[in-house]
Amino acid sequence: MIHGITGARRASVATVIALTTGALLAGGAFASGAQAAAPPTPSITAKGGFVMNDGTGKTLYTKAADTRRPTGSTTKIMTAKVVLAQKNLNLDSKVTIQKAYSDYIVSKNASSARLIVGDKVTVRQLLYGLMLPSGCDAAYALADKFGSGSTRAARVKSFIGKMNSSAKSLGLKNTHFDSFDGIGSGKNYSTPRDLTKLASNAMKNSTFRAIVKTKSTKQKVTTKSGGYRYMEWANTNPLLGGYSGAIGVKTGSGPTAKYCLVFAATRKGKTVIGTVLTSSSVSTRTADAKKLLDYGFKK
């Protein structure tokens, strides 16, 4: 006489149902996980780009990442790094602004911190003038101060030598500097990968980090007559205040470099850092950087 499904059979059917349901759930979870792990690779205007996870060093994006290109004022990342690496550095020591610095700005039609001849400006203030308004006069003053030699030309040459030695010590094989500010004679170049690695290293310095994330600053400097004046500088990096979590790093431009940007942002403890070189305009380099940051945070 049959009284329906036995206890053993019921247990077997229940097991099959449980296994099938589990497989479906697992499949669904796997599918959604795979979808989340593969954001579409962005298309950028810049001819070269590179992005990495700053915490792990993992590469997240490349586009002609090892092709050497002019770097414009992103060169000043290394200028700042060399200054900050000096032994027994006193950030509050003062530098007297020379006429040669302002003459240089005029002759090169270069970006300026509007430093005034005779003013006494601290090294820290010069670093702000270097990195925020991208002052080539500030770069010249720093090279003159921290190079060695009996003439200004010798000191500048010595400082650029320190920039190249630093690049070599960081293993930046596709990087070379022939200027302290990016206005060189055709031998000032790097790559998106090298510049990103340089910026990542520079960001380990707390003074550098504090400066490059500053949107604007007002600095009190001593005048030639012993009085004082205020210098106001705004950062040329539109990501600061324009992209959530942005913490730097440096813009660059030039006739051959076009438009460059080394950028970094931190969200939920994750820092993404990267570079775009040879973009077509200020707006496109900013758009390129935002796309790559978005992509980096999803990876």
Q: Which residues are designated catalytic?
A: 73, 76, 134
The CA distance from 81 to 69, in Å, is 20
Tell me 179's DSSP state: S
The CA distance from 75 to 284, in Å, is 20
The CA distance from 209 to 168, in Å, is 22
The CA distance from 124 to 121, in Å, is 8
The CA distance from 73 to 75, in Å, is 5
| Residue carrying structure tokens 């170049």 | 189
Yes or no: say if 69 and 257 are a contact pair by the CB < 8 Å rule: yes
Yes or no: say if 95 and 130 are a contact pair by the CB < 8 Å rule: no
Helix or strand run (H / E) with residue 165: helix 152-169
Cβ neighbours around 230 below 10 Å, total: 8
Which residues fall within 8 angstroms of residue 100, CB to CB, at 6 or more apart?
140, 144, 152
Report in angstroms the alpha-carbon separations of 26 from 12, 93, 173: 21, 64, 47
For 195-210, the DSSP string reads HHHHHHHHTTSHHHHH
| Residue carrying structure tokens 């602004």 | 97
Residue 237, SS3 per DSSP: coil
Cβ neighbours around 84 below 10 Å, total: 18
| Residue carrying structure tokens 């992209």 | 243
Yes or no: say if 235 and 215 are a contact pair by the CB < 8 Å rule: yes
